[in-house]
A and B are shown apart, each in its own frame.
Chain A
């Protein structure tokens, strides 16, 4: 029988492996898809910790919308030629091979960390929607302002610049 501890351990190992793959991947498109994989694993961890609303947000927004944004940005920028790609890959590996070694060293050091015992705290039963609308009203206002800022920012960034007519 798979205990919650074993399931969490497997998901966390997959999370780090997928994150490593997205960082070390040569192809930007595959790196963006690996990032979507990281979002999916974070979603599974959230579902396991009884956070369904945050998990659905993470899956739809991060795995869905942000992946589309990345793919759009990658498609609107120039692809390298084959020769440039080969030279770039070789040069990249000389900088990025330190990362798995660094992660193993940090992981081993953290495993020696002594985590203090957590006292059992009585649960506060509340609905997420009530917390959001009744207790975190300023957060909701902030979210609305941030979204509006984002919309206007995108409109300004992609505005057509007026062409300057040269005097002949």
Chain B
């Protein structure tokens, strides 16, 4: 790919990847549902994985970028699985997924 094509492609990603980050952050900040907070975290993770892959594409280090992206994906899935388990336990305890009902910090 020629340099002007690469610059145009980078410009596209510079515009769209922050939009994905904004959508994920907005979802986490505004929502009161615990599962929707997880959806926001997922969107942030996908934006980070895309940034890693784009960086590898631009610097022609795709093998290293893929290795780091795979690491990120594995960490992401474990975080989501544990968080889902915690949410299910919270629901069993409080019978609600609303963050406004999670006021008491006791075991």
Contact = CB atoms under 8 A, between A and B. Distances in A.
Contacts of B64: 124, 126, 131, 135-136
Contacts of B27: 23
Contact of B16 (A16, A49, A61, A62): A16
A127 to B, nearest CB: 6
Contact of B63 (A45, A61, A127): A127
A146 B74 contact: yes
- In this complex, the member of A23, A31, A38 whose beta carbon has the largest number of chain B beta carbons within 10 angstroms is A23
Contacts of A157: 82, 85-86, 88-89
Contact of B88 (A76, A96, A136): A76
B88 A15 contact: no
A60 to B, nearest CB: 9
Interface in B74-104: 74-78, 80-82, 84-89, 91, 95, 97
Given A20-B23, A70-B38, A139-B67, A122 B60 contact: yes
Interface of B: 1, 3, 5-16, 18-20, 22-24, 26-27, 30-31, 33, 35-36, 38-40, 42-43, 46, 49-50, 53-54, 56-71, 73-78, 80-82, 84-89, 91, 95, 97
Given A99-B23, A146-B75, A149-B78, 13 more contacts: A8-B9, A22-B39, A22-B43, A23-B26, A46-B69, A49-B57, A66-B42, A70-B80, A76-B88, A78-B91, A78-B95, A103-B19, A131-B66
